[in-house]
């Protein structure tokens, strides 16, 4: 008996020590979501030992595991890792045009193809380890970082990391780490947004269990078994039908609905909001069993919609694709979550800052860009009266400030995906795949710079992160004047976030824009204000409405003297004119905004010289 007790104690001690000495890494990313895979890849590329823990078998989150394989926006701004992913899709399908198979997006693809691309991208990084089938359980702050407990195929494992990145779909890690957060709709008196609701409530956007259908041929009958409690009236107005008597809705015909998410190779993404398979539930604060029960109902909604299409609309040849998801029910691994917890970060990004960016200073800290409008899905919410005070108007394209990634009070933690610090309204445009992917890439940069230089996250400056983003194909400002491979692209981006010359945002339906207006002349009054913001004691001298080439030379020389920068002379500027790829040197003509930005960036380097804090104020 005594020997048994001793052996039990020894085995227990061995188990405990084994748990304590689990895998150690510099950066640990929880969630292989759209942001998580980008964070992991970028962190590893910068030399940080990085691990991604993914609960399921695929990387890519909503782009792959949730089946929303239709990219929303950023068609003219293929930033960073998102751009690499899109380029890989082009290489797979043969051309960019081959991706424009449906009308909801210019970039549509099979989820399994996207998953393979992400897996290959991750495998190319020697500093990155991806562990699949690993579910987050808990996180504990330590003196040197974090201790994370996870379940890997039924066995608990402990991971230690210097920096933790929450890239989960619902912000579960942030909650476990003690981060304060918000859920649902905010009172306009709290958010400061005229579009916001008139009371706080926990109503969130609908979620969707997307389906990937395949055309099995005209003779095939793929009709599924009639789902329990099937009610066809729920779907009468999902498309034109004699049974649709709602006078407000004006549904399209069924063919139009199907072409919405048509994918390559005769497949269809079914993610239809108008009496389709959107489903309202709020599982954010539920335990695991509660979530499973609610998501079972969401799956049931989708299967009822599938049966309606097959049985009522005569599309028996369409069935769940058997070559997409390796799941028993052929449905995606996860639902499409449009909304999650929103952390209370060091910066809270709201719609006022999108509508009037230059009334604030956060645009100077941009680390991601987007051009999708505010898009909230509330069609499935049962009591629409509660939402009548919400109004959404048009917005221009925008950039997202770096401070949304950082919780106010918890250190060594970055929060990405849809849980960043934005208002409820702004979540409607920052939740889209290209923006979330860029946020993840920025999170990876921030984490890697901190661990490689042994600094706190908040000691890493905005300009350092932005510089690496630019070097890796990222955007800081949502300018569409120049493609990112143009030799002057980076100069316009750097001058843009310095605010010396400001872009012009335009709202054009679902394709919002911001232009640097590169070919227009430099207005003296605008330039004077931009310079005053950065060099308040410098007195600019210029006459007329627009700045000439010669006045630009004089200004650069004068500012060089003012800032004690050597070697800026008229002769140097004239020589650089050709070296920098500028043309048509004529002293008396107006200088263009592109020419001015390139010269100013080259000679005075304000991006490097004038650092800004997390709020965009000069340091």
CA distance 102 to 6: 67
Q: pLDDT tens for residues 260-306?
A: 999 999 999 999 999 999 999 999 999 999 999 999 999 999 999 99
Q: For residue 323, give Cα distances in angstroms to 66, 212, 213.
A: 15, 10, 10
Q: Closest by alpha carbon to 150, among 128, 162, 168?
A: 168
Collapse the DSSP code of 440 into the 3-class scheme (helix H, G, I; strand E, B; otherwise coil) and give the result.
helix
Q: What is the largest CA-CA distance in the chain?
A: 101
CA distance 188 to 198: 6
Q: Where are the domains of the chain?
A: 23-67+119-201+339-471, 207-320, 489-609
Q: Closest by alpha carbon to 139, among 172, 180, 182?
A: 172
Model-level pTM?
0.95
Tokens of 498: 């310095």
Q: How far is residue 618 CA from its own chain's centroid?
A: 27
Do residues 390 and 338 touch, judged by C-beta distance below 8 A?
A: no
Give the Cβ contact number of residue 153 at 10 Å: 9
Q: Under 8 Å CB-to-CB from 589, ≥6 apart: which residues?
A: 548, 549
Collapse the DSSP code of 70 into the 3-class scheme (helix H, G, I; strand E, B; otherwise coil) and give the result.
strand
Segments in the chain below pLDDT 50 = 1-20
β-pairing, 211-215 vs 318-320, is: antiparallel
Which residue is it, tokens 């009371």? 199
pLDDT score, position 372: 95
Which fold does the domain 23-67+119-201+339-471 belong to in CATH?
A: FAD/NAD(P)-binding domain (3.50.50)
pLDDT score, position 9: 41
CA distance 491 to 472: 15
Collapse the DSSP code of 546 into the 3-class scheme (helix H, G, I; strand E, B; otherwise coil) and give the result.
strand
Classify burial at 316, counting beta carbons within 10 Å of its beta carbon; exposed 0-12, middle 13-18, buried 19 or more.
middle
The span from the first CA to the last CA of the chain, in angstroms, equals: 70
Tokens of 33: 């979501």
Q: Under 8 Å CB-to-CB from 399, ≥6 apart: which residues?
A: 357, 363, 366, 367, 368, 369, 370, 475, 476, 477, 478
Q: What is the DSSP letter of 308?
A: I
The number of residues in the chain equals: 619
CA distance 288 to 335: 15
CA distance 295 to 123: 32
Please list the alpha-helical segments (H only) found in 152-273: 172-176, 188-191, 254-260
Q: What is the DSSP letter of 405?
A: G
Q: For residue 64, give Cα distances in angstroms to 326, 336, 338, 427.
A: 12, 10, 15, 20
Q: What is the DSSP letter of 199?
A: S
Q: Under 8 Å CB-to-CB from 439, ≥6 apart: which residues?
A: 35, 367, 368, 400, 404, 405, 416, 417, 420, 430
Do residues 485 and 449 touch, judged by C-beta distance below 8 A?
A: no
Q: Under 8 Å CB-to-CB from 561, ≥6 apart: which residues?
A: 568
Please list the alpha-helical segments (H only) found in 160-314: 172-176, 188-191, 254-260, 288-307
Q: How is the chain split among helix, strand and coil, in percent rounded to 5? A: 40, 15, 45
């Amino acid at each position: 008996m005594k020997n048994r007790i001793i052996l039990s104690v020894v085995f227990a001690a061995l188990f405990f020590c084994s748990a304590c000495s689990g895998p150690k890494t510099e950066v640990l990313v929880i969630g292989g979501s759209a942001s998580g895979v980008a964070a992991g890849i970028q962190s590893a590329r910068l030399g940080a030992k990085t691990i991604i823990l993914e609960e399921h078998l695929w990387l890519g989150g909503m782009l792959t595991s949730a089946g929303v394989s239709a990219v929303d926006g950023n068609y003219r701004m293929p930033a960073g890792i998102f751009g690499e992913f899109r380029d890989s899709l082009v290489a797979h399908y043969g051309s960019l045009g081959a991706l424009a198979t449906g009308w909801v997006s210019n970039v549509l693809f099979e989820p399994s193809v996207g998953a393979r691309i992400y897996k290959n991208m991750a495998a190319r990084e020697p500093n990155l380890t991806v562990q699949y089938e690993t579910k987050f359980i808990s996180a504990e702050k330590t003196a040197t970082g974090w201790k994370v407990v996870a379940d890997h195929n039924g066995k608990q494992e402990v991971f230690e990391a210097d920096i933790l990145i929450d890239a989960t779909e619902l912000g579960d890690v942030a909650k476990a780490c003690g981060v304060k957060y918000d859920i649902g709709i905010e009172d306009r008196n709290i958010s400061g947004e005229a579009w916001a609701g008139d009371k706080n409530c926990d109503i969130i956007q609908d979620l969707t269990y997307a389906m990937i259908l395949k055309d099995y041929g005209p003779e095939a009958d793929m009709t599924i078994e009639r789902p329990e409690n099937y009610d066809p009236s729920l779907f009468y107005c999902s498309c034109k039908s004699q049974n649709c008597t709602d006078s407000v809705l004006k549904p399209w015909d069924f063919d139009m609905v199907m072409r919405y998410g048509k994918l390559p190779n005769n497949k269809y993404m079914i993610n239809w909001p108008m009496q389709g398979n959107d489903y309202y539930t709020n599982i954010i604060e539920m335990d695991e069993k509660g979530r499973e029960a609610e998501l079972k109902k969401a799956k049931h909604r989708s299967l009822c919609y599938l049966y309606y299409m097959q049985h009522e609309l005569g599309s028996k040849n369409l069935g769940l694709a058997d070559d997409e998801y390796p799941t028993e029910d052929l449905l995606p691994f996860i639902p499409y979550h449009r909304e999650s917890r929103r952390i209370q970060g060091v910066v809270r990004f709201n719609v006022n800052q999108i509508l009037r960016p230059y009334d604030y200073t956060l645009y100077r800290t941009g680390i991601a860009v987007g051009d999708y409008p505010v898009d909230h899905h509330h069609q499935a919410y049962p009591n629409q009266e509660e939402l009548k005070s919400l109004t959404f108007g048009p917005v221009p394209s925008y950039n997202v400030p770096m401070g949304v990634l950082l919780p106010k009070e918890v250190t060594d933690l970055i929060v990405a995906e849809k849980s960043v610090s934005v208002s409820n309204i702004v979540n409607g445009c920052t939740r889209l795949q290209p923006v979330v992917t860029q946020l993840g890439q920025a999170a990876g940069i921030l984490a890697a710079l901190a661990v490689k230089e042994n600094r706190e996250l908040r000691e890493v400056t905005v300009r350092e992160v932005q510089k690496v983003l630019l070097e890796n194909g990222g955007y800081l400002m949502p300018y569409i004047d120049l493609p990112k491979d143009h030799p002057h692209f980076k100069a316009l981006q750097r001058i843009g976030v310095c605010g010396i010359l400001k872009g012009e945002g335009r709202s054009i339906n679902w394709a919002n824009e911001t232009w640097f207006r590169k070919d227009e002349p430099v207005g003296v009054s605008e330039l004077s204000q931009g310079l005053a913001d950065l060099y308040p004691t410098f007195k600019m001298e210029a006459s007329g409405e627009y700045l000439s080439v010669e006045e630009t030379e004089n200004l650069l020389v004068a500012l060089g003297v003012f800032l004690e920068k050597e070697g800026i002379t008229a002769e140097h500027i004239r020589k650089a004119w050709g070296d920098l790829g500028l043309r048509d040197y004529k002293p008396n003509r107006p200088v263009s905004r592109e020419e001015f930005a390139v010269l100013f960036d080259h000679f005075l380097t304000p991006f490097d010289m004038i650092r800004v804090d997390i709020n965009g104020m000069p340091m």
